[in-house]
Structure 1
Amino acid sequence: MKKLITAALPLAFAAAALAPAPALAGSAEGKLQVKVLGTGVLPDGKIVEVKKDPLGLTTGAQTKANDNYVPTLAVEYFLTPNISAETICCFTQHHVSGVGALAPATNIVDHVLVLPATLTLKYHLPMGGGIKPYVGAGPSMFLIFGEKPGSSITGLGVTKVKMSNEVGFALQAGVDIPVNDKGLGVSIDAKKYFQDTTAHFYAGNAEVLTTKHSLDPWVVSAGLAYRF
């Protein structure tokens, strides 16, 4: 959480500096809201299915993906005073390491760059003082780029790894807290994704291992919101 708050602070100051711009006259009842957030991406990464393993490499093996902390931009459009649609933009980078029988393998897949394309429909519960808790849900797709075989498996002859882009689902909850009546506020948000990917490992042109992984990250954010 300390890392998340640290990541959010410079973004919050940047949003505050932009807030008074005349072209973006703020309003607590505006149709559009932009959020600048510090975000923690906390994935799982465990193997849930072995689809192809001719050499028996995965017996007793398990994997995990590391956490990461990144800046995030969220854009939200209010369809009614209490119903909105929101999408987010961020890139997050991870690597996959081993646990259990694979614990010595500290770098199985390296430089996994993920764009979590997400669209949620949200319901906001109006409360006193303008505070608005909300819940939401919607589809997601993790677009994965740049994945490479890590040092723990290149010595075994693995030359390439490819991770699939798959459709998933996200649940969301949070709260928007107004700072003033000009559209500026503080936002705290949490999403739970239900998202899989399939990893294909190659030695030359031959696919030597195929494993399905549960990513299922928690994505927690805090920062400033500006509504206009």
Structure 2
Amino acid sequence: MKKLITAAIPAFAAAVALLAPAQAMAGSSDGKLQVKVLGTAVLPDGKIVEVKNDPLGLTVGANTKANDNYVPTLAVEYFATPNVSVETICCFTTHGVSGTGTLAPATNIVDHVMILPATVTLKYHLPLEGGIKPYIGAGPSLFLVLGEKPGASVTPLGVTKVKMSNELGFALQAGIDIPLNDKGMGLSLDAKKYFMDTTAHFYAGNAEVLTTKHTLDPWVLSAGLAFRF
């Protein structure tokens, strides 16, 4: 929670900077467009679900996990009707992969895994008294993986390069928007569960020496400010 609050501070500061000029416009709780600036916790899994190539038996009795991260997030939402909207989010989140089981001493297997989770969800909002709107949503997500590097625990084994695959998956979403005034300003709480795998390819020079499939399946929990106009 402390890390999420820390991540939310720059998000709230950005929200004030972005939304203050918008307050000069005609904000409306019934507007077609809503912009959210959020602090977000990204909580992935990272365990091995399939070993595709392991000639040296490196994964026997071993597994992996990915660390959590806390980042600012921007969401843009268009309301096709008062109760139906389409939302997309923008953020970069960076993770590392460490070992468990017989790999437990290997604390840094893959480093600097930067992910862009390109996500679009279709949402249904349930209007309640006082303008409070809980919602549910679902939609596709494309995880673009960038900048991954072999960690310090595998480079002594001769690993010179690692590549993790881009993958198409699915996200379920639930949350609530709570109005703070009648000018379109609100508080937003959001939770997404992604269903997503990736395949990691480890190379020694040009030779692929290990190929493993990992489940990511992160929970993505967000809180922040919204402005609708």
TM-score (norm 2): 0.97
Structure 1 residue 197 corresponds to structure 2 residue 204: no
CA contact (8 A) 1:15 1:224 kept: yes
Structure 1 residue 209 corresponds to structure 2 residue 210: yes
Residue 33 of structure 1, CA deviation: 0.3
Q: Percent identity between the aligned chains?
A: 80
Aligned ranges 1:1-228 → 2 under 5 Å = 1-21=1-21, 24-228=25-229
CA-to-aligned-CA distance 1:122-153 (integer Å, 9 cap, x gap) = 00000000000000000001100000000000
User: What letter matches 2:8 in structure 1?
Assistant: A
Q: How many residues were matched structurally?
A: 228
Residue 17 of structure 1, CA deviation: 4.3
User: SS state of the match for residue 152, structure 1?
Assistant: coil
Structure 2: gaps (5+ residues) = none
User: SS state of the match for residue 6, structure 2?
Assistant: helix
User: SS state of the match for residue 122, structure 2?
Assistant: strand
User: SS state of the match for residue 14, structure 1?
Assistant: helix
CA contact (8 A) 1:9 1:223 kept: no
User: What letter matches 1:64 in structure 2?
Assistant: K
Q: 1:61 and 1:68 mapped to 2: Cα distance?
A: 23
Structure 1: gaps (5+ residues) = none
Residue 11 of structure 1, CA deviation: 2.2
Residue 13 of structure 1, CA deviation: 3.8
CA contact (8 A) 2:46 2:97 kept: yes
Residue 18 of structure 1, CA deviation: 3.6
Q: 2:10 and 2:167 mapped to 1: Cα distance?
A: 33
Q: 2:83 and 2:200 mapped to 1: Cα distance?
A: 40
Q: 1:18 and 1:115 mapped to 2: Cα distance?
A: 22
Q: 2:57 and 2:65 mapped to 1: Cα distance?
A: 19
Residue 7 of structure 1, CA deviation: 1.9
Q: 1:103 and 1:48 mapped to 2: Cα distance?
A: 17
Residue 16 of structure 1, CA deviation: 3.2
Residue 20 of structure 1, CA deviation: 4.3
Residue 215 of structure 1, CA deviation: 0.3
Residue 15 of structure 1, CA deviation: 1.9
RMSD: 1.1
CA contact (8 A) 1:174 1:190 kept: yes
CA contact (8 A) 2:190 2:223 kept: yes
